[in-house]
Amino acid sequence: MVIDFNNIPIEKIEKFKGGDGYVLNRQFIDDNNRICYSVLPPNCSSGYHKHITNSEILIMIKGSAKFLCDNHEERANAGQVHYCPQGSSHCMVNDTSEDIEYITIVPEHNK
């Protein structure tokens, strides 16, 4: 199956998970996974949130993001992956002057 994000409408999500600003998001969802292509503009963030029934794999395509994961700060750059396992909490912050582009894969573990 090919997921073509070019054919999925862009959704602007304000204050994603309680964060600052907004994220531009294109997403595919089925019973097992949520797969998204997203853009996080400068000075925007996702809110700190816990992955209770799922995990998140975030593949950095463009830019550099600051993450807080289980109260540990780290940075991921284009070509790197940020992973938030089930039961962990995290947020993403664009503290740069350029857009961040990334793909997220969120598999459900407990149904």
> pTM, whole model, 2 decimals?
0.94
Query: How large is the average pLDDT for residues 60-86?
Result: 97
Interatomic CA distance for residues 3 and 1, integer angstroms = 7
Query: How large is the average pLDDT for residues 22-37?
Result: 97
**pLDDT at site 111:** 59
Q: Evaluate whether 61 touches 21 at the Cβ level (below 8 Å).
A: no
What residues pair up with 56 in beta bridges, in sequence order? 84
Whether pLDDT at 3 is above 70: yes
Structural domains present in the chain:
48-111 (2.60.120.10)
Give the rounded percent of residues in the chain with a pLDDT score beyond 70: 99
**CB neighbour class for 14 (10 Å; exposed up to 12, middle 13-18, buried from 19):** exposed
Whether pLDDT at 15 is above 70: yes
Neighbours of 5 (CB within 10 A): 15
DSSP tag of 86: T
**pLDDT at site 34:** 97
